[in-house]
Chains A and B, each alone.
Chain A
Amino acid sequence: MKRILCLCHDVTDADIARAVRLGYDHPETIKRFTGALMGPCQGRSCAELVLDAIARETGVDPAMLRTPTSRPPSFPVRMALLAGGERVDR
């Protein structure tokens, strides 16, 4: 029986608890250690769940945890759609 937090990479609540126990208790490092938030949904489905789990495990107020940085592209894009026009680097 599993509680999946990160659907993209199958990261469970047990995984977050374990990561925190090991010492990865910062949103950025737990992300890199477990792979949570790094899939195609970029945390859309899981960021809140993961941060809540970190807060629970570390006893920290969830409001103190900053969601890892949102970066472009806001949604996945097929690379050919970005390759048009004159070559940028002539």
Chain B
Amino acid sequence: MSKRVAFTFEGRTVSAEEGQSIGAALHAAGVRTLSWSSKYRRPRGLRCVRGVCPSCTVRVDGLPGVLACTTPVRGGEVVERIRPAVPWFPADRLSRLAPAGFYYEHLARQPRLWRRAERLLARLAGQAEPPAPNAVATGGFQERSVDLLVVGAGRTGLTAAIEGARSGRSVLVVERDYVAGGRLLSEPNGRELAERLVAEVRATGAEVLLSAIDLGVDDDGVHGVVHPGGLIALHARDVRFATGTYDREIALPDGDRPGVMLASGVQRLLVRERVRPGTRAVIVEVAREGDPIARLLAAAGIEVVARCAPGEVRSIRGRPAVTAIQLARGRLRCDLVVVAAGSRPADELVRQADLTKRAV
């Protein structure tokens, strides 16, 4: 029985298992809408559960821009959703008047009117209130050197770190998550293997930084490594990117609503966070990419009512979280739509490193 912690969410107390994310705890507590999109104020909820998409952005202890899905519950924090300014403004219904880029085409000849409109638009843009001054303490700064920088503490990264350390090199592993192990943590028996690998890494003397990111390598060849305490200007003789993959996306009709989640996100919620993602699921898949998640859902007693191709989806209904999916074959009641479209490499850092100096 793991320790329980609690936080405040909009006036109520929400309990969580230690190590759970704020997003998972809220999902377990029945909260589905976590944010409203920046322009049309469309309700959003847990989607990627990997810290990739913006759908679960909330405010914690006054600090906006917190991704609930990858932020661990600390205990005692105040979590709030970020409500748009002028909340009654029906932006989604008026969207025809404001397609992307609309402002370049209007009021060109009416500068005074544009000035007024501009102030109104800025207000309606509805983003978060800025945080209080100095809401985050100035971080520390270190200059360090290391033989091998490993970005990502999943199975690949941890293995590379062990090999590197065993061959006598100084190794630093940088992991974005607050626990090492990567995808292993979301696999049914993966946690034990992850813990063993981490112990092995520690035994070699290699260092693992959690909740840390490699900003990228700059023009002077220095890696900026940011961790909760601040910044390290890191000179690394060698780098290994073991950042894994992201789920591919599919743009479904009204498929951005709460209750539509990417397959690996559903898996993380179910296995790692031990939270039931839903009760009746429809899997929208490319080829047979939905096989693994279908098995996991079935094993957890969650009914998979249908599996279909993206082209069959006419619309995804909800109030605002998913209540049904309209397919060509008919309407199906469901509270979870799983998007299984395969994966692609998480290659931002590799692509950055490839930049030539004059590249645009």
Chain B associates with chain A? yes
**Bound: A11/B95 CA distance, A:** 11
Interface range on chain A (Cβ under 8 Å from partner) = 35 or more
Q: Does B176 contact A (CB under 8 A)?
A: yes
B11 interface residue, CB < 8 Å from A?
Answer: no
A73 touches B224 (CB 8 A): yes
Q: For the complex, is B280 an interface residue (Cβ under 8 Å from A)?
A: no
Evaluate contact between B216 and A80: CB separation under 8 angstroms. Answer: no
Please, which residue of chain B has its CB at the minimum distance from the CB of A45? B53
Given contacts A39-B38, A74-B213, contact A69 B359 (CB under 8 A): yes
B352 within 8 A of A: yes
**In the complex, A79→B254 CA distance in Å?**
35
**Shortest CB distance B282–A (Å):** 17
Smallest Cβ-Cβ distance to A35: which chain B residue: B100
| Range class of the B interface residue count | 35 or more
Pair A33/B100 contact, Cβ less than 8 Å: yes
Instruction: Answer yes or no: A55 CB below 8 A from chain B CBs.
Output: no
- Against A, the Cβ 8 Å flags (1 = close, 0 = not) of B31-60 are 000000111101010011001111101000
Q: Name B's interface SS.
A: loop
Whether, in the assembled complex, A28 has its beta carbon less than 8 Å from a beta carbon of chain B, the answer is yes
B111 an interface residue at 8 Å Cβ cutoff? no
B355 near A: Cβ within 8 Å? yes
| Surface stretch bound by A, among B136-144, B154-162, B198-206, B289-297 | B136-144
Given contacts A7-B44, A45-B52, contact A77 B215 (CB under 8 A): yes
Structural contact, B215 and A74, CB atoms closer than 8 A: yes
Tell me the minimal C-beta distance from A40 to chain B in angstroms. 5
CB neighbours of A46 from chain B (8 A): 249
Chain A residues with CB under 8 A of B38: 8-10, 39
Known contacts A69-B360, A74-B213; is A7 also within 8 Å of B37 by CB? yes
| Complex alpha-carbon distance, A81 and B212, angstroms | 11
Q: Chain B residues near A42 (CB, 8 Å)? A: 348
Does B360 contact A28, Cβ atoms closer than 8 Å?
yes
Q: Give the interface SS of chain A, mostly helix, strand, loop or mixed.
A: loop
Q: Tell yes or no: B349 within 8 A of A by CB.
A: yes
B339-360 CB contacts (< 8 Å) to partner A: 344, 348-349, 351-352, 355, 359-360
Q: Which residue of B lies closest to A80 (CB)?
A: B136
| Contact in complex: A77, B252 (CB < 8 Å) | no
- A2-B99 CB under 8 A given contacts A81-B139, A82-B226: no
Report which of B39, B135, B352 forms a contact with A9, defined as CB distance below 8 A: B39
State the CA gap A78–B315 with chains docked (Å): 38
Chain B 221-238 interface residues, beta-carbon cutoff 8 Å to A = 224, 226, 228, 230-231
Q: In the bound complex, do residue A72 and residue B53 qualify as a contact, i.e. CB atoms below 8 Å apart?
A: no
Q: Tell me whether B55 and A7 are in contact (CB under 8 A).
A: yes
Q: Which residues of A contact B231 (CB under 8 A)?
A: 81-82, 84-85
Q: CB distance B42 to A3 under 8 Å?
A: no
Beta-carbon contact of A45 and B176 below 8 Å: no
Q: Which residue in A41, A73, A77 is a CB contact (below 8 Å) of B52?
A: A41
Q: How far is the CA of A24 from the CA of B104 in the complex (A)?
A: 13
Q: What chain A residues lie within 8 Å of B100 (beta carbons)? A: 9-12, 15, 18-19, 33-36
Give B228's nearest chain A residue, CB to CB: A81
Residues from chain B with Cβ under 8 Å of A74 in the complex: 213-216, 348-349, 352
Q: Are A80 and B348 in contact (CB under 8 A)?
A: no
A15, B136: Cβ atoms closer than 8 Å: no
19 contacts between A and B (CB under 8 A): A2-B256, A10-B39, A10-B40, A10-B100, A11-B100, A12-B99, A19-B100, A35-B100, A39-B38, A40-B65, A44-B348, A46-B249, A70-B349, A70-B351, A72-B218, A79-B136, A82-B224, A85-B141, A85-B231
8 shortest interchain CB distances as A-B pairs: A85-B141, A72-B216, A34-B100, A15-B100, A10-B39, A81-B139, A84-B141, A80-B136
Other A-B pairs, 10, CB within 8 Å; known A48-B344, A77-B213, A84-B140: A15-B99, A18-B101, A33-B100, A39-B54, A44-B53, A45-B48, A71-B216, A74-B349, A74-B352, A80-B139
